Amino acid sequence: MEFQLIERIREATAQSREDVHLGIGDDAAVLAVPAGQELAMAIDTLVEGVHFPHGTAPADVGWKALAVNLSDLAAMGASPAWAMLALTLPQPDEAFVEGFAQGFAELARPHRLALVGGDTTRGPLAVSVAIHGFVPTGQALVRGGARAGDAVLVTGTLGDGAAGLRLLQRRDPGLADDPRATYLLERLNRPTPRLAAGMALRGRASACIDVSDGLLADLGHLCAASGVGAEIDVQHLPRSPALLALFDENASIELALSGGDDYELCFTVPAAQVAAVQADLARLGCGATRIGRIVEGRDIAVRDGERPLAPARTGWDHFPA
């Protein structure tokens, strides 16, 4: 049965690439890195009940398992090439595997991403994807380059994924046919990795990170790597009409600052380049909003206009103290 499941995944995700010399079916894949490119690699694990709710559609699990990894490549300015998949199932569920593979392939195909190997095993439902991409030598985006005076920007809108999860937790049947709730749930289950934006930021962003655990938490990682602080104004946080319609102002700010599951890019650029970068990302369809600036020090200060704020939390932590 294990090999039947693997074959179903292989058939659904088949993608031809000249740099895949040997893919699924052997003890290891044999792959070629093009000249003038560096290999960017990332891995993420999604666990049922932690990273996606119980009962999430298999196709959505497949999409999200790949999307969160593609988002890591986007934050490095890399273009995707290959992935490896480790799938842990409570039982050999062919229907789940077919749906999972469909969702995974739906996101993989537009990026010409080839699944080149992996493993299946029995246990609580969990998915690990290791992803590989290319970035021109010396052009990878990193967290450690922000400098005082740089502007802080984010792509897209913040708080939507966390808002979708909160709606699920409410179990409000009245929201079933509400297009605003549908939008937020789609943002939770099928986030859009900002790959084109990441590649457009090569040579322009001084630092970059993807927002997975919450804006404040991830901006904190960027600042720590750069040895700087930041100032953020919540009045500038980009929030979707759906989020603002279904949540009050305080809740929408909390979700945008610390909700997580956004998979947008948070990046810094010299102030003189903000307008040009915003124009380029607008043409790519995701846009970019200036939300603050990098300052001397180590702290992140949050304010509402002139009024300082003290958020109750910064974001998700797998191992809270």
At 313 the pLDDT is 67
Boundary (domain end) residue, out of 136, 168, 183: 136
pLDDT tens-digit series, residues 10-36: 666 667 788 999 888 888 899 999 999
- In this predicted structure, the answer to whether residue 117 has a pLDDT above a threshold of 60 is yes
Let me know if residue 319 belongs to a domain. no
CB 150 within 8 A of CB 206: yes
Query: pLDDT tens for residues 179-194?
Result: 999 999 999 999 999 9
Instruction: Find out whether 37 and 77 touch, Cβ atoms under 8 Å.
Output: no
Element (H, E) at 25: none
Same domain, 168 and 294: yes
pLDDT in tens, 74-98: 999 999 999 999 999 998 888 899 9
What average pLDDT does range 149-175 have in this prediction? 92
Asked if residue 316 belongs to a domain, the reply is no
Whole-model pTM: value is 0.92
Is 145 contained in some domain? Answer: no
Look up the CATH number of the domain holding residue 183: 3.90.650.10
321 occurs within a structural domain: no
- Domain contains 142: no
Q: Identify the pLDDT of residue 8.
A: 65
CATH code assigned at 110: 3.30.1330.10
- Other C-beta atoms closer than 10 Å to the C-beta of 135 total 20
201/140 Cα distance (integer angstroms):
10
Inside any domain, residue 11: yes
Query: Of 84, 107, 136, which one is at a domain's C-terminal end?
Result: 136
Residue 151 has pLDDT above 60, yes or no: yes
pLDDT reported for residue 319: 40
195 in Cβ contact with 61 (< 8 Å): no
Rounded mean pLDDT of 245-270? 96
Average pLDDT in the chain: 92
Q: Are residues 208 and 254 in the same domain?
A: yes
38-60 pLDDT, tens digit each: 999 999 999 998 888 888 999 99
Domain containing 74 equals 2-136
pLDDT at 2: 56
Query: Per the structure, how many domains does the chain have?
Result: 2
Instruction: Give the separation between CA 252 and CA 237, rounded to whole angstroms.
Output: 10
> Among residues 83, 113, 136, which one ends one of the domains?
136
Query: Does 144 map to a domain?
Result: no
Phi, psi at residue 113, to the nearest 5°? -85, 130
